[in-house]
Amino acid sequence: MTYRKLVVLIFACLFFTACDDDFISTRDYPVFFTDPASEITNEGVTLSVTLLNEGTSPVLSHGFQWGEAGGIYNFKDELTDTDLYGFSVRIDSDLKEGVMYKYRSFARTENYVIEGEELYFESKGSNEAVFTDFNPKSGEIGDVITISGNYFSLDKNRIGVILGGQNIDIEEVGRDFIKFKVPRFPIVNGATSISMFSGTSMMSHPASFEILGHKITGVTPNPIKIGDQELIIQGTRFSETPSTNRVNLGSTSLQVISASKTELRVRIPQHISVGNYDLSVKINFLTEVFNEKVTVVP
């Protein structure tokens, strides 16, 4: 859809009474006046508009953009309700004390994007972000995890999540939530930590998150005799592509003959020595070690 962009400079018209009715009352888009920033405290700032006329076209969304003066508009709060009366937002996160910010209001109709004039305020700071919880407490690759809290930055570029030491891409952010996915190639299998940053605030949570990677639940036969050609590994979440499952008996690499999500069949080399061995299965970056030794007997 193609939008026509209007920068509504209300000041110019308000000085001329003759143009009030023509400009304000006969538009098919809303006409509004961006108010000076108010309630500037160390907990944030309030931005608002004064609506002069709703126009004849329905408003699809409206909001504010802001950013540091001299920079880009890297923050946006867009509301999808259509009521422009009492239109205001409270910015209560990720503002730097003593920094000058620019801001402007906007509204969208089917055919127009209307922008108010650019105004400025000097920030006294804002609330520190708070990391309250996350859910669910475990997940498989691709599952969506939601962090809950308050005063998160609305700029995705100023939000970060670290899962088990690995930086994670952010799916969605809001003032009180952050959503991300368990990565395709996690580097930890099992319980790990979640930490995050919002703006300049770094936080972690005391609870552990469990990455549900592959597991080894059994091995047949065990013990295995020298000369036996196959070992069957039972478990969960194995790759169905044989070559993706890298199986080791001690330091000896085993060939995977067939693979399903719950079973791997591997070939035992003739030169294996008698002894007790760790059995491991590595898929991508995750390594699972069986909790019992595999014994090779004569």
The 10s digit of each residue's pLDDT in 178-207 is: 999 999 888 888 899 999 999 888 999 999
Report the mean per-residue pLDDT for the chain: 88
Q: Which of 9, 16, 15 is nearest to 114 (CA)?
A: 9
**Quick one: average pLDDT of 51-67?**
88
Pairwise pLDDT comparison (22 vs 88), residue with the higher score = 88
Architecture of domain 4-122: Sandwich (2.60)
* CATH of 215-297 given 3.40.50.1580, 2.40.128.130, 2.60.40.10, 3.30.70.100: 2.60.40.10
Q: Where are the domains of the chain?
A: 4-122, 130-211, 215-297
The pLDDT of residue 119 is above 60: yes
Tokens, residue 130:
């708070």
Does the pTM exceed 0.85? no
**Quick one: average pLDDT of 264-293?**
93
Gap between the Cα atoms of 113 and 155, Å rounded: 21
Pairwise pLDDT comparison (161 vs 88), residue with the higher score = 161
The 10s digit of each residue's pLDDT in 71-97 is: 999 888 887 765 667 688 999 999 999
* Backbone dihedral angles phi then psi of residue 142, each to the nearest 5 degrees: 90, -10
Q: In what order do the strands lie in the sheet with 201-204?
A: 166-168, 159-163, 194-198, 201-204
The pLDDT of residue 10 is above 60: no
What single-letter amino acid sits at 217? T
Is residue 229 very low, low, confident or very high in pLDDT (cuts 50, 70, 90)? confident
Please name the fold of domain 130-211.
Immunoglobulin-like (2.60.40)
Equal CATH topology for 4-122 and 215-297: yes
